[in-house]
Structure 1
């Protein structure tokens, strides 16, 4: 049986992800913005939480960690480099580490930018990338701690993954991100089509995530800072890739 991955809306616009493997009967959670919505799903399915994976230290991703750990005695997995800012960890991980979670190999990617200690979880067997606030749906996280060069390098690392990877990001920002992307390339048919799809999903109160990495490569301006067409569109044809990324991020911050 394939891995079950459930999207759990939390707070006002956060997402957590519950992963369950029917064979091992193990259940994992990626990020814990709050306890009750997550508990409701677990109880409803009769699942016990085995592992809790943390992407970064921001409160809207970790506020439920300690209570869920107390309830389920699950393993808490997070970045070794940032463990002083995280709830207590059972397993501290770093780049190139591989853990077994919910019947799958989980590869750790170091993706600083949004925060210095941000990590992502890549499951090649499930073709899934849990990117939280690094790579987002048609966007990327605001640079609260890292530099444009760091974030660009992180995005390139994730862009190298196979096109059939599914990206599970941390927030419902898609509609705003697409509206911003259209200010850069207002005549993009791909963006216009994606906007219609996102609007229809939200009109039905459905999440716009996850999304395929192939779609992100086509339409996410933050993944395309080295694209000559985009550089030309924003008047930076001769600028470096990092300079273009920094300019796009600046425009998004002020959008």
Structure 2
């Protein structure tokens, strides 16, 4: 299984998952059909599946156009997004499993950003997590439909995965995310180093995705609610309170 990152819109990433030998592909969160079709054509691939993490237009905007070009494609999304994802045919729940090119993806229900948000976790090898807008490199998604408790539970679930897990999040927000992180955990030396490294990458026009979970656990404030520095910034030791206050600070950053 190979993964190609496709930039779209202003800061979105579409992920093309493919198997060269069988020439089949799946796409995660196709914001636009055009860039996806271009890559499929370039690589000589047939699209067989669309994996949507949630219903927002910048994650599902290419669904219907892609299905016109590939009428047999199967469009997946969460059960709680029923009626909100264009062309959806499969309604996934926590614990469901699906196969692509002989590799199994586990479905994780991770509400908070939206009520219907799911992730696709391919455990094989180091592990690949397609987490949409729940977990970002250096941050997490806004609470547009969920509560701090829901998002904290979802992030706790993701934090429990192996440190080697690759984080394929759907936006290039990393530099700004880390700049905020330094305001709430300024003494984190690894965070300082990461910020400079990301700044260098972005100055070269390079992507910061994928990240890895071990790095996120050491530098992402939204996976560090139990650390003294973050608790001090939030003025509390209660996990939900710490998370909620840090998230509110980020909303206004």
Q: What TM bracket, shorter-length normalisation?
A: over 0.9
Instruction: Output one character per residue of 1:34-68: Cα deviation in whole Å (capped at 9) or x when no partner.
Output: 11111111111111111100000101111111110
Instruction: Output one character per residue of 1:61-85: Cα deviation in whole Å (capped at 9) or x when no partner.
Output: 1111111011112111111121111
**Contact conserved, 1:25 with 1:102, CA < 8 A, in 2?**
no
Shift of 1:239: 3.0
Number of paired residues?
Answer: 251
User: Which of the numbers 35, 57, 60 marks the counterpart of 2:58?
Assistant: 60
**Contact conserved, 2:53 with 2:132, CA < 8 A, in 1?**
yes
CA distance in 1, matches of 2:234, 2:36: 45
CA distance in 2, matches of 1:33, 1:68: 11
TM-score for both structures, normalised by structure 1:
0.95
CA distance in 2, matches of 1:117, 1:224: 25
Shift of 1:187: 2.5
What's the counterpart of residue 34 of structure 2? 36
Stretches of structure 1 that go unaligned for 5 or more consecutive residues are none
Instruction: Output one character per residue of 1:90-126: Cα deviation in whole Å (capped at 9) or x when no partner.
Output: 2211100000023310100000000000101100015
Residues 12-27 of structure 1: pairs in structure 2 closer than 5 A:
12-27=10-25
CA distance in 2, matches of 1:112, 1:129: 15
Residues 59-208 of structure 1: pairs in structure 2 closer than 5 A:
59-73=57-71, 74-126=73-125, 127-208=127-208
- Bigger drift between 68-77 and 23-32 goes to 23-32
Stretches of structure 2 that go unaligned for 5 or more consecutive residues are none
Instruction: Output one character per residue of 1:180-223: Cα deviation in whole Å (capped at 9) or x when no partner.
Output: 00001222211111111111111111111110110001100001
The runs of 4+ residues in structure 1 deviating greater than 2 Å are 22-26
1:85 match: secondary structure: coil
CA distance in 2, matches of 1:102, 1:219: 34
RMSD: 1.2
2:179 match: secondary structure: helix
